[in-house]
Structure formats: C-alpha cells, structure tokens
Amino acid sequence: MDAPLLPGLYIVATPIGNLGDMTLRGAEILRGVSAIACEDTRVTGKLLHHLGIKTRMIRYDDHASDSQRGGILSLAAEQPVALVSDAGTPLISDPGFKLVREARALGIAVTSLPGPSAAIVALTLSGLPTDRFLFAGFLPSKAKARADALAGVAAVPATLVFYETAPRLADSLAAIADALPGREVAVARELTKKFEECRSGAPAELMAHYAAQPPKGEIVLMIAPPGEAPADAIDPDELLRAALRTSKASQAAAEVARVTGLDRKALYARALELK
C-alpha cells in the first residue's frame, strides 16, 4: 500500500467458499486497517491466517449492543476500520446496516470494496432472466409466514432470489409449487467450492431429486418471473425413479403424489412396474 489508510469504515467483501476469490485490494485494506469488525473471529481468523494478516479483530454481529457499535464508530472516526461478514459482501443478509447508517450520520467516511456475493454468483449460473431481480433474503421458517412472503412477491416482474438452508429446502420448494405454480426454479449450492451445483426445473422435480440426494451446504433459491415460459412438463416416471432410489414403492408413490397431485394408487402401480 502506497500510503496509510485514512480514518473511516471500509466494507470488505470476502470469499464465499474459495479463498482464491479474495481481491488484492480487499487483502490490502485488511492488512492496512487498525482493526477488523467481524461476525465470528474464528471464521475471519482462518481467512486472515491464509492471507498472512495479523490485524486485530473485533466481534460485531446481529446481537451487538449500541455500546459495541459506538466503540467501533469512535475508532473509525480516528483510524481506518474494516467491516467483514463470515462470507460474501457485508450487509447483504448480514450484519452492518446500523453501523453504516450511523457512520454516515456522524460524517465518518464509508468505503465499500466489491467482491463475492452468493446471490449474484447464483443468479449468473441459473439461466434465469438477470435484467431485473429481487433479492429477498431468507424465506420465513413457519409455513404460514412463508406462504404469505411468497404471495407478497408473486406479481413482481423479476427473478426472485432467496437464501435457504438445506434442511428447509423441501418445504420451501413445496411452498413455491403451491404459491407460484408453473414457475421455473433454480437451486444453487456449494458455490465456488468443489461440489458447486446449480440445478433448475419444476419444484416437484427438484423435490424428488433432493429427496433422493439430500443437499448439504448453503443454498440460493431462485424463481423465474411471472409470464416466463413454464418449466418443462413433469414426468411422473422420472420422479418415481428418483424416489425409488431411497424409498419403497409405497413411499415413493406417496411422495410423488404429494408433490404432483396425481393419483397415489396409479403411481404405486407404476412404481411396482419400474422397480
């Protein structure tokens, strides 16, 4: 770095999986600030160790108190301070909004260094329209709240982007099938890592696939805009074959009936034929 950093708050994006995605400028800033505010010092510590950086870390997460935030702001008024999240771009479904808002109100300089964001990486992989999109964070965990959230954005003329966890994926796909019938869905997971995957299709197809092969890792869930061509027609045989990999014929038929609305007895007879 040619000259010492000026006082202020530096928002630094960090890798979402592949440490090689850390930008040169971001590493320089982390090396040059007097302190790094981070969600989890253990997670950020691994990145700093990889980069050979020994800058002091200060914990700052969703549960930070007003006094903790005030301490970081007081420091940033006099010295350069970085803000990072555990992965990706801070503030994007991560802590930092209040800190940045108060820094601006106090006249503290705020600089943002661009870099990885799971939502953007997933969107570019999905094959869904990218000219307009709505990032809506995490879907609610409760069924009624989840349904209400989907109903609230159903008419938005844009690709919808959500974060999701692996254990809740099946419930979210079922809710999408109910609330937004006919929409193509894409599931992106393990982004920038060895087992990166982006799979698209009808919700029922994706449910059958992940029932047979339970997903791991963090997930980005994307839904095509209204009016787009619907996902390919559902093939019951394909769904049954996927379900039969891990389930008995009766269980496979019940699962496919649940996600497609087809007759369970007919599906059971077909499952026996396929098996």
The radius of gyration computed from the CA coordinates of the chain, to the nearest angstrom, equals 23
Range of the domain at 167: 119-223
Of 116, 134, 155, the domain-final residue: 116
Q: How confident is the model at residue 231 (pLDDT cuts 50, 70, 90)?
A: very low
| pLDDT recorded at residue 234 | 63
Angle in degrees, 0-180, between the axes of helices 249-260 and 203-212, rounded to the nearest 10:
150
Tell me how many domains the chain contains.
3
Spell out the residues 6+ positions from residue 61 whose beta carbon is closer than 8 angstroms to its own: 39, 40, 95
Chain centroid to Cα 142, Å, comes to 18
CB 55 within 8 Å of CB 35: yes
Question: Whole-number mean pLDDT of the chain?
Answer: 92
Q: Is residue 234 a contact partner of residue 185, using CB atoms and an 8 Å limit?
A: no
The pLDDT of 12-33, averaged and rounded, is 97
In a domain, 228, yes or no: no
pLDDT greater than 50 at residue 42? yes
The residue length of the chain stands at 275
Q: Would 3 be classed as within a structural domain?
A: no
Given a contact cutoff of 8 angstroms between Cβ atoms, the answer to whether 153 and 127 are in contact is no
pLDDT in tens, 119-148: 999 999 999 999 999 999 999 999 999 999
pTM: predicted TM-score of the whole model, two decimal places? 0.80
The rounded distance, in Å, linking the Cα atoms of 268 and 64 is 54
Rounded distance, CA 218 to CA 115, Å?
A: 18
Q: What's the confidence (pLDDT) of residue 183? A: 92
* 106 shares a domain with 58: yes
CATH number at residue 26: 3.40.1010.10
Give the CATH number of the domain where residue 216 resides: 3.30.950.10
pLDDT at 261 over 70: no
Whether 100 and 166 share a structural domain = no
Query: For residue 83, is pLDDT > 90?
Result: yes
In the three-class reduction of DSSP (H, G, I as helix; E, B as strand; rest coil), residue 182 is classed as: coil
